[in-house]
Structure 1
Amino acid sequence: MKALLMIGALLLSSPLYAAQLVLDLGANARTWQTEALLKHPEARTIQIAEDVSYKKPMTYRAVPLAALLTGVQPSDHLQAVALDGFAAEMPAAPLLERHGARAWLAIEDPASPWPPLSEGKSSAGPFYLVWTDPQAGPISPEQWPYAVATIKRLPAVAERFPALLPAASLAKDDPVNKGFELFQKHCLACHRLNGAGDAQFGPDLNIPFNPTEYFSGDFLKHYIRDPQGLRRWPQGKMPGFSAAVLPDSELDLLVGYLKHMAGRKQPQ
């Protein structure tokens, strides 16, 4: 009986769950547990005025992401992979900043869980990449991945996925190449193109058809701005990209890249 009471006491005093975050950074690889992150010497309580996922002010216990990225250089490239297959491609430099737009790893405390993102859904935990002063970046919504499971150091997107590249004959400053940069920032976290990419979330944007081939006129731009305003269904997950996040001039460049890639389909 005494042994059973001791086991019960241990269960009551232990966390409700033990989540872990894998940092695959090469020689500095490490796995962090929730409890250790909550006790990290740089952990602090932060206020997020306009949380991208919750659409309201939020308060988190968080650690500056730079404090966890041991050995990472500003020229490196990182990928944050979520539990649902969302794979955010991010240059390391903004994540290492200690001033201006600053990246934080928010940690969900099992003793004080975060609210669900919406009815029937889970929270943004156990780990969520959030930003203070994101307007100083500027930081896009895709740079706020939630339910993060792994952060990896990887070669740049162009090196890993040559099937995404525009024609080599284009000048470096060609608008199509600028559109490719925007595609990496805004689209690659959810979508593949020509079968290339790590995301497991949304459909391929070139195979079998590119959206520029079936959206006429400006309907593709309308769709990117407000997906549910054009094709409404309860399971729709694509967020709208406002002009504040993706100005009209950049939206034109992004669509230009997609049009270009419609002529560069890769055999599957």
Structure 2
Amino acid sequence: MKLFAAYLFALCLTLPAMAAELKVDLGHGVVTYRSEVLLQRRDVRTISVPGDVAFHRTMHYRAVPLAALLEGTGPGDHLQFVAGDGFAAEIPAALLLNTQGSTAWLAIEDPAQPWPAVPGHGNAGPFYVVWTQPQAAHVGPEQWPYQLASIRKSSGVTERFPAILPDASLPADSDVQRGFAAFQRTCFACHTLNGQGDARLGPDLNIPHNPTEYLRADLLRAFIRNPQSLRQWPQAKMPGFDTQALPDADLDAVLAYLRHMAGRKRGG
């Protein structure tokens, strides 16, 4: 039995690493891209990404321009990027197709040369959306989904999840409405609200209790900036949002939105 187990172990060491698959559905059927094929494309490049969101340092990737995989997508479309860990980023196609200087890339992990682990999160592969010059289009940290498994075109967030909408009578420039916009950029990729949303990484932020109902405002602000400041937990997955990712005015607006939604519970 020991000899057989040793044989199987040796066999596994000699087998080539398995190629990963990315599912893309733009409304006319699912297209499957294999990592080994993507790495052989004529438009694959080696790119450098300073200040990479996942690794917090300069990283080098083999990548293809993401727009090349989104043919037929228009600026008015909406795309959802779903990761293997339950993260679900909602990104308007206009940002991905922008001409403001930022470029979105699909970084592809070579099975023979795996990326290092992301501290506290495991491997970032097999696919990772990275950006060059992200500041030019104000790309936020939640718009860098890694462990990517699928991309699909869908209707917008407000159409699919009406229970997350604030009171429609509030003016567009109100703190609550601005907070709702910031919530979609920074929180909705990991959390649901009123039971609605596709993310499965973090808890619901309104039912049964909204965090503004059980945390003082100063503690909640500190927690969003640095989750370990409230509860030290090595396995915690929530990243902190610094003032570059979430300016103070946007953080105040998010809290205004959450306080508002505490009075609009549905599905609890």
TM-score (norm: length of structure 1): 0.92
Structure 2: distance between partners of 1:205 and 1:260: 12
1:68 paired residue number: 69
1:94 paired residue number: 95
What secondary structure does 1:183 align onto?
A: helix
Structure 2: distance between partners of 1:16 and 1:99: 38
Partner AA of 2:245 in structure 1:
V
Encode CA deviations 1:38-83: one digit per residue, 9 max, x unaligned: 1122110000111111111110000010010011111111110000
Q: CA deviation at 1:97?
A: 2.9
Matched, 1:124 2:124: yes
Structure 1: distance between partners of 2:123 and 2:99: 27
Q: CA deviation at 1:29?
A: 3.4
For the 8 Å contact 1:63–1:104, the answer to whether it is kept is yes
Partner AA of 2:35 in structure 1:
T
What secondary structure does 1:63 align onto?
A: strand
1:134 paired residue number: 134
Structure 2: distance between partners of 1:168 and 1:218: 28
1:53 paired residue number: 54
Structure 2: distance between partners of 1:99 and 1:114: 29
For the 8 Å contact 1:94–1:102, the answer to whether it is kept is no
For the 8 Å contact 1:28–1:70, the answer to whether it is kept is no
For the 8 Å contact 2:105–2:130, the answer to whether it is kept is yes
Encode CA deviations 1:171-217: one digit per residue, 9 max, x unaligned: 23322111111111000000000001000100000001001001113
What RMSD over aligned residues (CA atoms) do the two structures have, in Å?
1.7
Alpha carbons of structure 1 residues 149 and 60: separation in structure 2 relative to 1, 3 Å: same
Matched, 1:103 2:104: yes
What secondary structure does 1:26 align onto?
A: coil
Unaligned runs of 5+ residues in structure 1 are 1-10
Alpha carbons of structure 1 residues 145 and 104: separation in structure 2 relative to 1, 3 Å: same
For the 8 Å contact 1:127–1:146, the answer to whether it is kept is yes
1:17 paired residue number: 18
TM-score (norm: length of structure 2): 0.92
Unaligned runs of 5+ residues in structure 2 are 1-11
Q: CA deviation at 1:226?
A: 0.8
Segment drifting more, 196-205 vs 213-222? 213-222
2:182 paired residue number: 182
2:261 paired residue number: 261
1:239 paired residue number: 239
Identity across aligned pairs (percent)?
57
Query: How many residues are treated as equivalent by the alignment?
Result: 257
Q: How does 1:131-210 map to 2 (within 5 A)?
A: 131-210=131-210
Encode CA deviations 1:136-185: one digit per residue, 9 max, x unaligned: 12111111110100001010000000000001222233221111111110
Q: How does 1:197-236 map to 2 (within 5 A)?
A: 197-236=197-236
Segment drifting more, 142-151 vs 166-175? 166-175
Encode CA deviations 1:103-151: one digit per residue, 9 max, x unaligned: 10000011211111137x5321100000001111211111111010000
Q: CA deviation at 1:12?
A: 9.3
